[in-house]
Structure 1
């Protein structure tokens, strides 16, 4: 019985080391991380990694799920015009993800492949609808802009953030301004 408890304690410790190593690797290197490198960084064999996370997607979900959930919880600011609220929302969202290359890669990759990402995209559409409702009063968005347009603009900005060198953080504000200029009346 004590031997089984010790093994379970070792297994829990191994899993935690794998998650820590994977989180660092995916955040800094994006989706191109080699699973063998994650295992080595965690100090475990690749078999141990796959025993805890049978697929790469399982490991990715374990380390990005909370980030995508956090993104899906962000709201359009209550104050300001539609265009200014979108500026704050876009800039805040981009600054939230810019340090996590895995999340940027997931959002920039195209079609969603799991429920978390789909929920995040649906949330962006909801934020877009809220902005359009506000713009019905303040007329700061062009009349042909749709909620999908706003969601896709943010995803396009995520792709741009993926390309911005780390030493140029002001470029996010610049590209948000350019995108919003195209959406404004």
Structure 2
């Protein structure tokens, strides 16, 4: 029974470290001290290094759930929305509301290189690209997305950063800016 508790504690510590690393990287950038991540996670530095021998190991461990979340959001939008356009719009709204741009800015190009070079991440990365391509192609086919907008453009828009002015509701400002972007992507009514 004790080994089950130890494994559960180790899993909990690992999960806490990854959650703290995501927050720290998003808010302070890739060079945040590892001790700060450990403190934020509520674990000792030794515990952090037992799970992750270096910063690259933390980045690799973050990349999989990050990509899995993107794939899940895209798949859900595709499954639940009545058109490719509404799926694409929903997905881009969710990406902006989740502040993916802030995380990408803090982690790039290190995370991008890590994702591209890590064979463990190839499958989940491909799933994200497949969903984006399917949404883009379907929106083109239904005539709702401008033909000069491709999958790479949509991928770039996933990480748009939106800043709200002091006193402005961040969620509302984000929604408005994404709506403006979507208006620019949509085909002109014919």
TM-score, reference length from structure 2: 0.66
Q: 2:32 is matched with which residue? A: 33
Q: 1:88 is matched with which residue? A: 90
Give the alignment's Cα RMSD to 1 decimal. Answer: 3.8
Q: 1:170 is matched with which residue? A: 172
Q: 1:17 is matched with which residue? A: 13
CA contact (8 A) 1:91 1:173 kept: yes
Q: 2:144 is matched with which residue? A: 140
Q: Which consecutive residues of structure 1, in runs of 5 or more, have no partner in the other structure?
A: none
Matched, 1:113 2:119: no
State the Cα distance separating 1:143 from its structure 2 match: 1.8
Deviations 1:105-158 (A, max 9, x none): 347878442247766654444233323432344311112221222222223x2x
Larger radius of gyration: 1
Q: 1:128 is matched with which residue? A: 132
State the Cα distance separating 1:18 from its structure 2 match: 5.7
- How has the CA–CA distance of structure 1 residues 16 and 175 changed in structure 2, closer, same or farther, with 3 Å as cutoff? same
Q: 1:77 is matched with which residue? A: 78
Instruction: Give the whole-Å Cα distance in 2 for the aligned partners of 1:110 and 1:29.
Output: 11
What's the secondary structure of 1:77's corresponding residue? helix
Q: 1:179 is matched with which residue? A: 181
CA contact (8 A) 1:82 1:134 kept: yes
Deviations 1:36-79 (A, max 9, x none): 123345342x3443233101222343355323212123324344
- How has the CA–CA distance of structure 1 residues 99 and 122 changed in structure 2, closer, same or farther, with 3 Å as cutoff? closer
CA contact (8 A) 2:18 2:61 kept: no
TM-score, reference length from structure 1: 0.67
